[in-house]
Amino acid sequence: MNAKVACLALLLSAGIAFAQGFAGLGTDAEGFLTPMPGPEFRFPRDHGAHLGYRIEWWYLTATLTDADGRDYGVQWTLFRSALEPRTIRGWRPGQIWMGHAGLTTDQAHFAAERFARGGLGQAGVTTDPFVAWIDDWAMTSRAEGGADALSLINVVARGLDFAYDLWLEAQGPPIFHGDGGFSVKSADGQASHYYSQPFYTVAGTLALPDGNIPVTGTAWLDREWSSRPLSPDQRGWDWFSLQFADGARMMGFGLRSDVRATFTAATWIAPDGTTTAYPDGALKLTPLGTRRVAGRQIPIRWRVELPARGVDVETAPLNPHSWMATTVPYWEGPIRFTGSHEGRGYLEMTGYE
């Protein structure tokens, strides 16, 4: 889930106040580890924080439906950004944590944001038991026995005017993007460690101003960490996750550059979790129409083509105004797609000024 890397990097380059807190990190990785090819993942350790790397996230998106068949989307994200490659006890911010929560209906979009400094207990991630939290927002493992910690999780978050409480059960194994979890982000070699759990089924409750709504659906969890995720010329990206009727999944992104062609990458995930990574150019993303959202022109409809898999679909958002009006604003919301395939997914678009 490349998008998040870029999200943080963009924070920097966008020159927004808080973003610049991470600014030094976007351009050099001094004192921090650099993702190297051929990573070895070990769980539960790698579900936890990798303090040696500058940025990291736990990123969940869910496409949900209520009893009346109405669609919903939910986002839960915990970002970690390191000022120093260690946790410092006390007020000094060795790590800064940021939480984003979103809830999209066909009529409205809710967003909330939290910040915390590490070292106090206000936010953090533990692996045994697995909990990722900021304030009262938490992603908590409910897995028992020897099962993978992320195979059964409870996710809660709360904003000023919404809340949700979801239970997620993995129906397949975690999968690794790129080359065994080494995901390249640009022709210059920027990369991250990147794995996902794309096979969650979800049941839970959304608390909206009009009342509580029981929902069911599917969800996708991204885990990614890096120290130097983007090239300096990369300004924004468009990230898709698509779910196909046969149980297959697809992840694809395009990183837009000021000076070069968009860098694309995709992962095809078979229903059994087998993955195929597609290099730059295999995926083709074409905006079909823009709409004015939060004062910007946002391409909310896309043509997504992965000829190698016979994919040629057009996407449409559940709610064109799925705008995350957070410190660094971006568009993130559930979509449906039609064409060669039909199904639901999630779209994230950043860097539209």
Partner 1 sequence: MIGPATTAILSHWRRHPGQCLTLFLGLALATALWSGVQAINAEARAAYRQAASVLGQDQLARLDSPWGGPIPLADYINLRRAGYLVSPVIEGTLGTFRLLGIDPLTAPPEAQPTLLAEGALDVADFTSGAGLILLSADTLPETLPDGLPPVRTVKGLMPRTGITDIAIAARLLGQSDPSYLLVLPRQPAGLPDLAGNTPGLRLTEGGGFSTPGQLTDSFHLSLTAFGLLAFAVGLFIVHAATGLAFEQRRASFRTLRALGLPLRTLIAVLLAELLAFALIAGGVGLILGYAMAAVLMPGVAGTLRGLYGAEVSGEVLFRTEWGLAGLGIAVLGTVAAAGHGVLRVARLPLLAPAQPRAWAIASGQTMRWQSGAALVLFATAFALALFGTGLAGGFACLAALLIGAALALPPVLAAVLGAIRWPRAGPMAEWLWADTRQQLPGLSLALMALLLALAANIGVSTMVGSFRGTFLEWLDQRLASELYVTVRNKAEARALRDALSPRVDAILPVVSVAAVFYDMPADLYGIADHATYRDHWPLLSSEPDVWDRVARGTGILVNEQLARRTGLTLGDAIPLATDWDLPLVGVYPDYGNPAGQAIIGLDLFAERFPDIPHLALAIRTDPGSVPALIRDLQEAFALPPRFVVDQSQVKHISLQVFEQTFRITGALNALTLGVAAFALLTSLLTLSRMRLAQLAPVWAIGQTRRRLAVIEMVRSGVLTLLTFVLAIPVGLALARVLLTVVNVEAFGWRLPMRIFPADWLRLGLCALLAAALAEAWPAWCLARTAPAQLLKVFTSER
Q: Is residue 160 close enough to count as binding partner 1 by CB under 8 A?
A: yes
Coil vs helix vs strand at 339: strand
Q: Is residue 131 close enough to count as binding partner 1 by CB under 8 A?
A: no
90, 214, 289, 307: which one binds partner 1 (CB under 8 A): 90
Which residues make Cβ contacts (< 8 Å) with residue 146, sequence separation at least 6? Answer: none
The number of residues that bind partner 1 (CB under 8 A) is 32
Which residues make Cβ contacts (< 8 Å) with residue 187, sequence separation at least 6? Answer: 231, 260, 263, 280
- By CB under 8 A, the residues from 213 to 232 that bind partner 1 are none
Distance CA 288, CA 330 (A): 19
43, 66, 70, 122: which one binds partner 1 (CB under 8 A): 122
Would you call the peptide bond into 329 cis, given omega within 30 degrees of 0 as the criterion? Answer: no
Coil vs helix vs strand at 239: strand
The DSSP bridge pattern shows strands 123-127 and 109-117 to be: unpaired
38, 69, 145, 209: which one binds partner 1 (CB under 8 A): 209
Q: Is residue 207 close enough to count as binding partner 1 by CB under 8 A?
A: yes
112, 132, 168, 250: which one binds partner 1 (CB under 8 A): 112
40, 68, 69, 91: which one binds partner 1 (CB under 8 A): 91
Distance CA 306, CA 13 (A): 30
CB of 26 to partner 1, least distance (A): 12
Q: Is residue 116 close enough to count as binding partner 1 by CB under 8 A?
A: yes
Piece in contact with partner 1 (CB under 8 A), picked from 112-120, 171-179, 265-273, 309-317 = 112-120
Residues present in the chain in total: 353
Distance CA 225, CA 243 (A): 24
Q: Is residue 16 close enough to count as binding partner 1 by CB under 8 A?
A: yes
- By CB under 8 A, the residues from 323 to 342 that bind partner 1 are none
**Cβ distance 78 to 58 under 8 Å?**
yes
Which is nearer to partner 1, 160 or 245 (by Cβ)?
160
Distance CA 55, CA 33 (A): 11
28, 30, 161, 272: which one binds partner 1 (CB under 8 A): 161
49, 150, 163, 206: which one binds partner 1 (CB under 8 A): 163
For CA atoms 310, 190, 11, 118, give the dihedral sign.
Answer: positive
Q: Is residue 86 close enough to count as binding partner 1 by CB under 8 A?
A: no
Q: Is residue 121 close enough to count as binding partner 1 by CB under 8 A?
A: yes
Q: Is residue 136 close enough to count as binding partner 1 by CB under 8 A?
A: yes
2, 14, 21, 243: which one binds partner 1 (CB under 8 A): 21
Distance CA 188, CA 233 (A): 11
Q: Is residue 108 close enough to count as binding partner 1 by CB under 8 A?
A: no
The token duo for 42 is 């070990």
53, 76, 130, 162: which one binds partner 1 (CB under 8 A): 162
Instruction: Name 314's bridge partners.
Output: 303, 338
Distance CA 173, CA 251 (A): 16
Q: Is residue 20 close enough to count as binding partner 1 by CB under 8 A?
A: yes
- Would you tell me which residues interact with partner 1 (CB under 8 A)? 16-18, 20-24, 83, 90-93, 96, 112, 115-117, 120-122, 133, 135-136, 158-163, 207, 209
